[in-house]
Amino acid sequence: MTDKPRDYSFEAMVEVTGADISQLTSDERGRINRALKELRVLIEDDYILADAIHEHAKAYKIVYPEIALTPQALTGQWSSIQEKAGAMTKPRLTQSPSAAVPPPGRRVCETCDGGRMVFTGTRDGHEEWAPCPDCNSGANTDFWRADGSRFRSPDSDQIRARMNS
C-alpha cells in the first residue's frame, strides 16, 4: 500500500483559515482547492507554496485583523497584501536615530548628534544610512549579498558627499 504524499499547501490553507481538517464539508474543501489552483499557477513547488501561504496569511491578519481569513480572501489580496502590511508596520524615521547620551566629560558628535549613523539619502523608496564619518568611521558595515557579491562600506569622503547631495 502506497501512502499518498502530503499536500503541504492544502494543510497550510486549512491551518491559516482556522478550519478543522477532520470536519471539512465538500463545499469547504472545494473552496480551498479552487484557491490553491490559482496559487499553484504562481508557485508550483508545494512546500514553497505552503510557506508563502503562511507569510501572506500573517500579512492579511495585520491589514485586516477584524475580517475572517478565507481561501478566497487570501487569493483575492495575494499580490498586494504583503506590501500593504509592510507599509502599516514599517517604522517611520523622521529624524536621525535616537541620540546616545555621551559619557560624562565627552561631547556629542555634531554631525550625527550622538547617533553614530547619518542619513545619506533614499534609493528605491528606502532610506540609506551609513556610519558617521566623524565619530564612527571605523565601523565595518560590509556584508555579503544573497547573490554572493560583497557590499563594501563607503569611505568617509563618500559618506560626506552623499550627506551633502
Q: Is the dihedral of CA 11, 16, 17, 19 positive or negative?
A: positive
Q: At 125, phi and psi to the nearest 5?
A: 80, 5
Q: Cα separation of 152 and 116, whole Å?
A: 18
List pLDDT tens digits, range 1-41: 567 888 999 999 999 999 998 999 999 999 999 999 999 99
Model confidence at 161: pLDDT above 60: yes
**For 47-66, what is each residue's pLDDT tens digit?**
999 999 999 999 999 999 99
Its pTM stands at: 0.54
- Residues paired with residue 121 on neighbouring β-strands, in sequence order: 128
**Cα 24 from Cα 126, distance rounded (Å):** 44
Of residues 128 and 100, which shows the higher confidence score?
128
Q: What is the pLDDT of residues 110-158, one digit of tens each?
A: 888 888 888 888 888 778 888 888 888 888 787 787 788 887 888 888 8
Confidence of residue 90 (pLDDT cuts 50, 70, 90): low
pLDDT score recorded for residue 50: 93
DSSP-assigned letters across all residues of 137-165: TT----EE-TTS-EE-PPPHHHHHHHHH-
Boundaries of every domain in the chain? 8-89, 91-165
Task: Name the residue with higher pLDDT: 69 or 161.
Answer: 69
- Whether residue 104 contacts residue 145, with contact meaning beta carbons closer than 8 Å, is answered with no
Say which residue the cell 480572501 belongs to: 73
Using the predicted structure, report yes or no on whether residue 106 has a pLDDT greater than 70.
Answer: no
Q: What is the pLDDT of residue 52?
A: 93
